[in-house]
Chains A and B, each alone.
Chain A
């Protein structure tokens, strides 16, 4: 079953086609990677899917529901969550509070009970703190449980974003270059985290430049170039595609 469908999607920025007539679908339970050279439109595609941008034309269907034009917070409520290539961490908060914001939709958000700190709010908050600590453990951040987000290293912040996105209990998780800027060891750890996330039944859409990682963990790959689909298929099929090789890996024609 296709969890996410992108149909004839286009996005123009002042005459430049960042995404052009793009169609593909993501199967439930898959790790689906989007690859392509710099400027191919991968991040734009993520921004279109998650409601940060509105498409110029075309549509996005999530669980067979038309979602293009919806706001990111509405999509979050439907079960879509993401991370960012350039981190969007709440540096003014503690690490665990970052993750707790992730469970926003699953908490009592009424104003008066919060203002009066009713026992029910305290109880749910304590449970939330525990489950968020569990998520931090899941992504390998146990030693930062009491840390301020501002004091954490880059690699840890990448994982903190994943924990925050998971706290929203998504059906689909879009990861925008989770391994960018990480060393080989850290990349392998992220690799493990992604596999563990997928094993819990969450569908993962991945944008990544680390080909070793992409080829190793993906069930399906869509290759983009200049905003268009260049190729798609299993890692083996995409790797063997001559167009992908010349556009992306830079073969001498």
Chain B
């Protein structure tokens, strides 16, 4: 019951916030930052399925994000495909790649899995940098607007509404999945793999499934990001971008869809807010991260929810 109200209530609140936020936007810069925050939020909601719910780790998701972006760039500019088709094809290819590499590496656990996924990210980054005939190398690639059936998305406002709708849709899908037989199996993998196996959960397949799903989320956002920015470089596949994505999930709250979303928004906005004290930006950011992990090890949202419950004298 509580889960159901959290689902519909949370979704409604998210939709209201997205709809109302532009009232406080005074120029297109606000829209631009908000779109980037929502891009990150979509990736993190997907990544949280892997990290927070299924208890696995990936330090290579920026690679999948970048493959989506480059897939769209190459297919639309070099091969002249329509953007939507390019996005779908790229996502399918990334899904296939995640499936092929996921099968062997998801047998690994903990630090070893972190190392293996880190390797994938680094390889993708190197390939994008060195295959300059296809990818433009370190100089990057430029792309046209995203358009569907002759209707193109131009300007920060139109992007804001498009990505806003996509974010609500993503959160809805994630919440659906978590509260289904598939989602319970994923959470069971986190809880106890052998415990899940003996009641019939094929744990290795579920790990691969969630790895593929989170990679596809990242790829789709990568495609959209590329079109919105109009220009991409191999830096989007960097190790730091992967770490940033994981940090957003951990900061906001693992195994909490809205937590991952909040983590993504905070870590996108914070550097903008700290721009005023530019030379101390990295230090303050680091201090906030450390403080959060020391005092709220479960992440922002789950810790806040728990303390509200305690104050209310729930149990």
B198 contacts chain A at the CB level, 8 A cutoff: yes
- Selected A-B contacts with CB under 8 Å, 29 pairs: A51-B197, A52-B194, A73-B199, A73-B203, A75-B198, A82-B198, A88-B194, A89-B191, A90-B187, A90-B188, A90-B192, A93-B184, A93-B187, A98-B188, A98-B191, A100-B184, A101-B184, A104-B185, A104-B201, A108-B181, A109-B185, A114-B180, A115-B177, A121-B180, A125-B180, A161-B195, A164-B195, A165-B199, A167-B199
Is B118 located at the chain interface by the 8 A CB criterion?
Answer: no
A97 at interface, CB cutoff 8 A: yes
Q: Inside 8 A of A82's CB, which chain B residues have their CB?
A: 198
Contacts of A104 in B (CB 8 A): 181, 184-185, 196, 199-201
* B199 close to A81 (CB less than 8 A): yes
Q: Which single member of A73, A97, A107 contacts B197 (CB below 8 Å)?
A: A73
Residue B176 CB within 8 A of the other chain: yes
Given contacts A72-B194, A88-B194, A89-B191, contact A105 B182 (CB under 8 A): no
CB distance from A109 to the nearest CB of B (A): 5
Chain B residues packing against A (C-beta within 8 Å) = 55, 173, 176-177, 179-185, 187-188, 190-192, 194-203, 209, 255, 315
Closest Cβ–Cβ distance, residue A198 to chain B (whole Å)? 19
* Among A76, A108, A151, A161, residue most surrounded by chain B Cβ atoms (within 10 Å): A76
| Complex alpha-carbon distance, A97 and B200, angstroms | 15
How far does the Cβ of B220 sit from chain A's closest Cβ, in whole Å? 14
The minimal Cβ–Cβ distance linking A62 to chain B, given in whole angstroms, is 14
Chain B nearest CB, measured from A61 CB (Å): 19
Q: Which of B176, B185, B202, B203 contacts A117 (CB 8 A)?
A: B176
Given A98-B191, A168-B200, output 19 extra A-B contacts at Cβ < 8 Å.
A73-B199, A73-B202, A76-B199, A82-B198, A84-B194, A90-B188, A90-B195, A93-B187, A97-B184, A104-B184, A105-B200, A111-B209, A114-B180, A114-B181, A115-B177, A115-B180, A117-B180, A121-B180, A165-B198
Q: In this assembly, does A154 line the interface, its C-beta being within 8 Å of a C-beta of chain B? A: no
- B181 near A72 with CB under 8 A, answer no
A227 adjacent to chain B (CB < 8 Å): no
Q: Are B192 and A88 within 8 A (Cβ)?
A: yes
CA A81 to CA B198, docked complex, whole Å: 6
Q: Which residues of B contact A102 (CB under 8 A)?
A: 199
Interface centre among A52, A72, A91, A117 (most CB of B within 10 A): A72
Are B200 and A77 closer than 8 Å at their CB atoms?
yes
Pick from B182, B185, B199: contact of A164, CB below 8 A.
B199
